[in-house]
Amino acid sequence: MRNARLAVAATATLLCLYLGTACEAKWRLGPSQSMATIEKLVAQDKLSEATKRLSAGYSFDDPAGLDALRQFSIIVLRRGLSERDPYERCYAASALGQSGEPGNIAILIAAFRSSKLGVKTAAADGLGEIGDNAAIAALQQLYNSGTVGERETVVETLAQVTNPNAVGALSEATSSSDGTVRLIAIKGLGRLGNRAAVPRLRELLATVHDPLEKTTVARSLIQLGDNSGMDTIKAALHNPHQVWAMAMAALALGDAHDPQVVPLLQNTLTTQDDIDVRLAAAVALTHYNVPTAVDFIKGALQSGDPISVRHIGQLLADIDLRNGREILIAAMANEDIGLQMAALKIISSFGGEQEVAALTRALGKTDEPTIRALIARGLGRIASRSCITPLLALVPEASPAVRYTAADGLGRIANRLLKESASDGSQGASKQP
């Protein structure tokens, strides 16, 4: 009997040794002990060991594993607050602020006081990423107390946020004495989607005289479902002396989602001499699923003309990606690094499993840290379960930009899947008799 028991014990011991870290994490350590060990490894910069222990000790198919993934993300990002590089500190503070950790808005406000424009931009962008009412209030405070250059930086951030409460700050910025600030703010009001901006935009439509600014106002109104600026848009499209206003007018007709404007856009695409106007018309036509427009943009990409490539990069966010998906894929494969970066920023706004596969393949083709960080960003924004494995593999990389972007992405995925799990659970409970 004793020999039999010894044999069983020996077998169990051998099995545990065979399973290695997974066995240790699941059988010898409880969840809190396991996370404590992982936190120690992160503190010692042993990120590779930490990710291996996390992967072996938890299943990311259940809430407990997802919660551990969320905790791991926060542990790594907290370490980012101690980085010497101010840009990485700003990124970590922003990511932690989005996860609900207090004190990070103050960190970003302090960083904005830097004498370096790049750090100011990183701090403002960080506040925009947090995007809650407290962050919007902080941005408005920085705008009100800032220099002309600082105000431009802040309003560029406000123009990208999704919080509809930014409408007040952007409306105020439309009264700036600086034309660039005004134009950015006007664009931002259309993008924001808050119809509370309509009265201010109508006021501007009646008082603004600069052709580009006036056409931009009309476009923002269209984006908010108000066609009162349509006459302004059509007039701008027929004024060859104001090329940038023509291009803005073409984009506005794409936002109108009115099939009656398709012949006008097609005529612009085929008859205009200016390539920027033609590109804008082609982008607008993607909203009407016109194949020749997609072919035109792809042809411009393949032409190698650097000016056209740069302009397409600026217009990627205006393309209807349901109809122009192949444009984005072509942009990702283009040799121009600026275009690649623009495409990688856009892909997360609509990506699915096809894009996850494309991003994962792209990781194997580049060692450039900035591109790898943007790929990590895309995976984190797509936030599907299939993104967990490639992001975990990126956390131990030497580049802080890659490391913290990957950690942020893991937190986003964990939060999304935990919310979905809680929602499914509550719906299931509500169906119980």
DSSP codes joined into one string, 209-253: --HHHHHHHHHHHHHTT--TTHHHHHHHHT-TT-HHHHHHHHHHH
Give the pLDDT confidence score for residue 367 in this predicted structure: 93
Amino acid sitting at position 109: I
- Distance between CA 130 and CA 65 in Å, rounded? 25
Identify which of 259, 251, 267 has the alpha carbon closest to the alpha carbon of residue 289: 259
Q: Does the structure show a pLDDT above 80 at 254?
A: yes
Query: Which stretch of 73-77, 180-184, 346-350 has the lowest confidence by average pLDDT?
Result: 346-350
Output the pLDDT for position 358. Answer: 85
Q: What is the mean pLDDT of residues 328-342?
A: 87
Q: Between vectors from CA 72 to CA 69 and to CA 74, what angle results, nearest 5°?
A: 115
Is residue 372 scored above 50 in pLDDT? yes
What are the residue boundaries of the structural domains of the chain, listed by start?
A: 1-57
CB distance 249 to 236 below 8 Å:
yes
Each residue's pLDDT tens digit, 137-170: 999 999 999 999 999 999 999 999 999 999 999 9
The distance from CA 128 to its chain's CA centroid, rounded to whole angstroms, is 11
Closest by alpha carbon to 70, among 410, 300, 382?
410
Are the C-beta atoms of 69 and 58 separated by less than 8 Å? yes
* Residue 332: Cβ-neighbour burial (10 angstroms; 0-12, 13-18, 19+): buried
**Angle between helical axes of 117-130 and 104-112 (0-180°, round to 10):** 150
Alpha helices in 304-399 (DSSP H): 306-315, 325-333, 337-347, 353-363, 369-382, 388-394
Q: Which of 137-141, 298-302, 307-311, 421-425 bottoms out in mean pLDDT, i.e. has the lowest?
A: 421-425
CA distance linking residue 133 with residue 139, whole number of Å: 10
Whole-number mean pLDDT of the chain? 89
> Cβ neighbours of residue 363 under 8 Å, at least 6 residues apart?
372, 375, 390, 394
pLDDT at res. 422: 80
- Is 3 a residue whose pLDDT tops 60? no
C-beta separation of 273 from 307 below 8 A = no
CB 157 within 8 A of CB 145: no
Is the pLDDT at 187 greater than 50? The verdict is yes
